[in-house]
Amino acid sequence: MELDETEARKKADDIISRIWAERNHQIIEIMNGLMIEDRMMNRMRIFSETLLHNFFRMLWPYFGLHKYIMHEHLDSFTVEGICISCKTDLVTRDRSGMLVISDWKTTRSIDIDKENLQLNVYAIWGSDHFGDDVEKIKTQTVNLRTGEINQHLPTKQSIEIVKQKILLETERMKDSNEATFEAIPTIEKCYSCRFLNKCGEGKKSIEYSANQTYALNVIDGD
């Protein structure tokens, strides 16, 4: 389905307005019930509108040529009987027919190794779900602040490495307790993480954000 830009802008504006009108339910509930000051709420709204503006200004010319398939799609697949869940931000097909899986980013700095792991997982899902050869799938991070697109072309070899990693990590999880795994708190993820109640690192990052320093840094730039 090809989307008309005006129609897409209107839909996006409507969604933001609806979320804002129901902010006490929509935002606070998503953020594990955390109470958020009005000042912070306002900054979040401005931030989301800025990202949306960036999307239409810098990224629509690129995505407007794609065929839309799905967005915010939660699904699962299995690797050697191990169930893996993943949620893709946007799935499209480009003009050459390649499946394109995009992952939104809103921070300036990213960890390339973790990104590649995540993008390879999306490629396995895409191949499983649509039947495309993994080497015909394009995965990419799309930075909504800068408009930068970092493309990643999975190979059979990179996919095999990720599958082995999944098997290895699963074995480790079976043999150990959660304390042996490194927590990687990021404010955007911790706020809505369903493991927050059990995660000391995540709670610390939320407490930090309650002082607003970190959260405002996220919104302002890093």
Distance of CA 110 to the CA centre of its chain: 12
d(CA 27, CA 191) in angstroms, rounded, equals 10
Query: How many Å is the maximal CA-CA distance in the chain?
Result: 54
Say whether residue 190 binds ligand SF4 (CB under 6 A).
yes
Say whether residue 195 binds ligand SF4 (CB under 6 A).
yes
| Residue from 153, 199, 210, 216 binding ligand SF4 (CB under 6 A) | 199
Of the listed pieces 22-30, 77-85, 158-166, 191-199, which binds ligand SF4 according to CB under 6 A? 191-199
213: tokens are 């320093």
Unique residue bearing structure tokens 């209107």: 10
| Residue from 13, 189, 207, 213 binding ligand SF4 (CB under 6 A) | 189
| Residue from 4, 14, 160, 201 binding ligand SF4 (CB under 6 A) | 201
d(CA 120, CA 157) in angstroms, rounded, equals 11
Say whether residue 196 binds ligand SF4 (CB under 6 A).
yes
d(CA 98, CA 67) in angstroms, rounded, equals 10
Say whether residue 185 binds ligand SF4 (CB under 6 A).
yes
Say whether residue 202 binds ligand SF4 (CB under 6 A).
yes
Provide the residue type at 59 as one letter. Answer: L
Q: Contact positions toward ligand SF4, by CB under 6 A?
A: 183-185, 189-190, 193, 195-196, 199, 201-202
